[in-house]
Amino acid sequence: MDYQAILDRLQKDFIPDTAMGNVASYIPELSKVDPLKFGIYLYAHDGSSYEFGDSQEKFSIQSISKVFTLTIAKELLGKELWKRVNVEPSGTAFNSLTELEREKGIPRNPFINAGSIVVADALLTVLDNPKKDLLKFVRKLCGSEDIHFDESVARSEKKHGYRNKALVNYMKSLGNITNDTEDILDFYFYQCSLAMTCDQLSKAFMLYANEGKHFRSQEQVIDPQSVKRINAIMQTCGFYDEAGEFSYRVGLPGKSGVGGGIVAVHPQHYSVTVWSPMLNDKGNSALGMKVLEDLTTLTGLSIF
């Protein structure tokens, strides 16, 4: 596959324009990001890589971090985890409260905020230092020590995260939260504040495109069965109430974040990250969705 020619074409066809969407502003620190940033990095299964634009600049990965915490929690808790969170698409916004009442505090899936907060709670129970362990895991996956939490983003969300406070308290009242709610939110806001480049994210996500093996060492980090399950959840729930649309247009498992990043994986082929901070009304990168749609059109391949 001539990925270089495909990326050259994407670079030519997609020019960021401020009319495309709005940078997230409910986390004030994120609103400072230049909306016109745009980068892409594709890591192919054969070890070659392709990139353009701001692919080496760090951005706030936000909800993309939910894939990492789910992976760790699944390893440590196994099936127990699924007693507290389901694997059904929600069809509602990432920060929705509405289904929780009807479904007795059990979130629809681990990629909406409620679900990831339950995962954070589970990690707090089994790990002495979840922040340190998360950093260690992500650094190992992408083979780089240069990965850190962005304290100002975490603090900014802590100050303004009223919906997440509502979610954790509501689930606590319904019996699905064990630890202190402030401690859980502290960890959750820190995980979301991880700052990474398109390059680092694509390498880390090779785990899900390479049968659970590390992109460089080929060490088996998680088993292929876990990869199948996590990719299935990305496919059905990775974009909240736009998961069907992403599946229809792009045809790959993926995960977005309100920092404007989207990572998608084509198992046995590649892992790709696009970053463009302008969001559509579902909270997903507007330009990122379009670029990935064209990527799979130009390669002529998707998982379908």
Ligand X SMILES: NC(=O)CC[C@H](N)C(=O)O
Of 265, 241, 237, 230, residue with least CA distance to 251: 265
The first and second tokens of residue 266, run together, are 């084509």
Site for ligand X in 120-149 (CB under 6 A): none
Task: Out of 157, 199, 241, 242, point to the residue binding ligand X (CB under 6 A).
Answer: 157
Sheet holding 261-266, edge to edge: 49-53, 39-44, 270-275, 261-266, 254-256
The first and second tokens of residue 42, run together, are 């594709």
Name residues whose C-beta falls within 8 Å of residue 128's C-beta, 6 or more positions apart in sequence. none
The first and second tokens of residue 103, run together, are 């479904």
Give the separation between CA 280 and CA 286, rounded to whole angstroms.
5
The first and second tokens of residue 121, run together, are 């709670």
Q: Is 89 in the site for ligand X (CB under 6 A)?
A: no
Nearer to ligand X, 41 or 240 (CB): 240
Task: Out of 10, 39, 54, 63, point to the residue binding ligand X (CB under 6 A).
Answer: 63
Task: Out of 55, 69, 90, 95, point to the residue binding ligand X (CB under 6 A).
Answer: 95
Q: Which residue has 């599946």 as its token pair? A: 247
Q: Is 90 in the site for ligand X (CB under 6 A)?
A: no
Q: Is 283 in the site for ligand X (CB under 6 A)?
A: yes
Residues comprising the binding site?
63, 113, 157, 164, 188, 240, 258
Provide the minimum distance between the beta carbon of 42 and ligand X in the complex, in angstroms, as a whole number: 22
Name residues whose C-beta falls within 8 Å of residue 223's C-beta, 6 or more positions apart in sequence. 212
Q: Is 62 in the site for ligand X (CB under 6 A)?
A: yes
Task: Out of 94, 149, 205, 215, point to the residue binding ligand X (CB under 6 A).
Answer: 94
Nearer to ligand X, 54 or 157 (CB): 157
Which residues form the interface with ligand X (CB under 6 A)?
62-63, 94-95, 113, 157, 164, 192, 257-258, 283
